């Protein structure tokens, strides 16, 4: 048997990752309550490469960046779009996923492009890039914008007829439509929506973790790990 060590090694520092786990296929909770998804697998692969232990904590979107700023989370992995505005208050990893807004409507809807939503009731998740796009189109004071704390809640409202459309990230809308044929939704795309990229977010100035993650991200992109995870979720 190995001789007992004189002093216990310093506790390994665990990277606490915040995620709003109501955003399949990027992050969601399975039947066991475990947090799973594309972002989770990428973040796990990155952490493994960097030799960092990682723990995921379900964190409501509305408080997610505050939790990061206060140091309650070390990193956010939550399909976060890298935007100039957010860069003022947080730092991002290199991009790891391309996205764009996509419209969900009922199958019979006449909506054919984003501008068609101008006079309609539109559901969004509060504080997302979808919210931003719709706010720009309908106007800051529009009472036709219905804001929800999660994207699934906005989609539920579309199903019950409380809103005429939902604008959210394409990956999530496509996943929902494909997995809920009973909802009878269809998607409407529009090139007017700006291209978006997801990044992992860090507290502003946490260059140490940011560079570790960037290095590991480049490594999993180079060695095929990223492609394998991508194929698992997006074929
Ligand atoms: N990509 C969009 C944004 O950054 C929506 C992300 C929402 N993520 C989530 N897990 N609910 O604004």
Whether ligand 1 lies within 6 angstroms of the CB of 169 is answered as: yes
56: phi then psi, degrees, rounded to nearest 5: -100, 135
193: phi then psi, degrees, rounded to nearest 5: -70, 130
Whether ligand 1 lies within 6 angstroms of the CB of 65 is answered as: no
Q: In whole angstroms, give the CA distance from residue 115 to residue 51.
A: 48
Determine what percent of the chain falls in helix, strand and coil, rounding each to the nearest 5.
40, 25, 40
Nearest CA to ligand 1 atom 12: 128
3 state SS of 145: strand
Q: In whole angstroms, give the CA distance from residue 108 to residue 42.
A: 37
Q: In whole angstroms, give the CA distance from residue 63 to residue 192.
A: 29
Q: Mean pLDDT over all residues of the chain?
A: 96
**Per-residue pLDDT reduced to its tens digit, 53-111:** 999 999 999 999 999 999 999 999 999 999 999 999 999 999 999 999 999 999 999 99
Q: In whole angstroms, give the CA distance from residue 158 to residue 20.
A: 21
Q: What is the pLDDT of residue 182?
A: 95
Give the mean model confidence (pLDDT) for residues 133-147: 98
Structure confidence at residue 13 as a pLDDT band (50, 70, 90): confident
Q: Taking Cα atoms as reference points, which of 139, 134, 152 lies closest to residue 193?
A: 134
Whether ligand 1 lies within 6 angstroms of the CB of 131 is answered as: no
pTM: 0.94
Nearest atom in ligand 1 to 196's CA: 1
Structure confidence at residue 10 as a pLDDT band (50, 70, 90): low
Indicate the pairing of strand 53-58 with strand 14-19.
parallel
Q: In whole angstroms, give the CA distance from residue 123 to residue 42.
A: 29
The alpha carbon of 128 and the centre of ligand 1 are apart by a number of angstroms equal to 5
Q: What is the pLDDT of residue 5?
A: 58
């Amino acid at each position: 048997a190995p001789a007992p060590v004189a002093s216990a090694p310093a506790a390994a520092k665990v990277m606490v990752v915040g995620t709003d786990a109501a955003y399949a296929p990027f992050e969601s909770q399975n039947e066991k309550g475990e947090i799973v998804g594309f972002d989770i697998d990428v973040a796990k692969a990155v952490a493994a490469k960097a030799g960092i232990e990682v723990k995921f904590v379900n964190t409501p979107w509305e408080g997610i960046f505050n939790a990061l700023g206060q140091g309650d989370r070390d990193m956010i992995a939550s399909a976060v779009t890298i935007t100039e505005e957010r860069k003022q208050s947080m730092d991002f990893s290199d991009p790891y996923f391309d996205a764009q807004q996509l419209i969900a409507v009922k199958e019979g809807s006449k909506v054919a492009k984003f501008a068609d939503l101008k006079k309609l009731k539109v559901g969004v998740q509060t504080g997302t890039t979808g919210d931003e796009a719709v706010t720009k189109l309908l106007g800051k004071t529009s009472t036709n914008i219905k804001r929800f704390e999660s994207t699934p809640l906005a989609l539920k409202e579309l199903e019950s007829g409380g809103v005429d459309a939902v604008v959210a990230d394409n990956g999530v809308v496509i996943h929902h439509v494909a997995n809920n044929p009973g909802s009878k939704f269809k998607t409407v795309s529009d090139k007017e929506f700006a291209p978006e990229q997801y990044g992992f977010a860090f507290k502003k100035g946490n260059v140490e973790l940011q560079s570790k993650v960037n290095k590991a991200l480049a490594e999993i992109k180079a060695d095929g790990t990223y492609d394998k995870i991508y194929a698992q979720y997006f074929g």
